[in-house]
């Protein structure tokens, strides 16, 4: 019998002063059996950073032709493709060809640094590619906010992301590797 996804609920209060975006979101997050809490929280962080009424989680890990999160236009064109981890060059180029903007968020410490060193020259000329790294210490702090039912407040100002569940708070400063 196959193991099913674990369902998490998140109520987000987002105040993004960098984009003048102030909204609440109620999300249902299906955590794939092979996905750990750290990766799920990085997905949630990416959602918060790009929050929009039309931003959607996709099938993610379980499919090869979709990112983890995307934003589609009313005419079904992909406006924003958000990927987590360390995709290969072919996947990056495919994503950049299909979407107006592509954001990749890495979060695995030294292995992400090695991956970026190997791929930098191959993707450095792609104009619609943006790459950010979540430092390992902040990744661990972020994971402390993971629960089956989450109520999170988020403030973004000057690219700094502050998250709180009322008891704990985390400040995230993503490292920009390619803008």
The domain limits of the chain are 6-178
E-strand stretches of the chain: 6-16, 21-31, 55-57, 69-72, 78-84, 99-106, 129-133, 149-157, 160-164, 169-172, 175-178
Query: Could you tell me which residue, 65 or 137, shows the higher pLDDT?
Result: 137
The pTM assigned to this predicted structure is: 0.93
CA distance 4 to 70: 23
CA distance 75 to 73: 5
Q: Which CATH superfamily is domain 6-178 in?
A: Restriction endonuclease-like alpha-beta roll domain (3.10.640.10)
Residue 2 has pLDDT above 70, yes or no: no
Among 6-20, 24-38, 39-53, 125-139, the range scoring the smallest mean pLDDT is 24-38
Mean of all residue pLDDT scores within the chain: 92
Q: Report strand pairing: 149-157 vs 160-164.
A: antiparallel
Check: CB of residue 28 under 8 Å from CB of residue 168: no
């Amino acid at each position: 019998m196959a193991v099913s996804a674990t369902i998490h609920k998140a109520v987000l209060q987002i105040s993004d002063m960098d984009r003048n975006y102030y909204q609440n979101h109620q999300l249902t997050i299906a955590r794939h059996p092979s996905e750990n809490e750290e990766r799920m929280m990085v997905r949630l962080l990416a959602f918060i950073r790009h929050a929009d009424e039309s931003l959607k989680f996709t099938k993610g890990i379980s499919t090869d032709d979709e990112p983890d999160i995307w934003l589609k236009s009313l005419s079904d064109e992909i406006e924003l493709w958000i990927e987590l981890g360390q995709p290969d060059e072919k996947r990056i180029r495919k994503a950049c060809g299909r979407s107006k903007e592509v954001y990749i968020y890495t979060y695995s410490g030294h292995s992400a640094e090695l991956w970026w060193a190997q791929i930098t020259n191959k993707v450095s000329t792609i104009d619609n590619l943006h790459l950010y790294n979540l430092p390992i210490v902040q990744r661990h702090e972020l994971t402390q906010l993971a629960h089956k039912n989450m109520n999170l407040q988020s403030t973004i100002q000057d690219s700094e992301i502050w998250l709180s569940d009322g008891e704990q708070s985390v400040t995230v400063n993503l490292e920009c590797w390619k803008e």
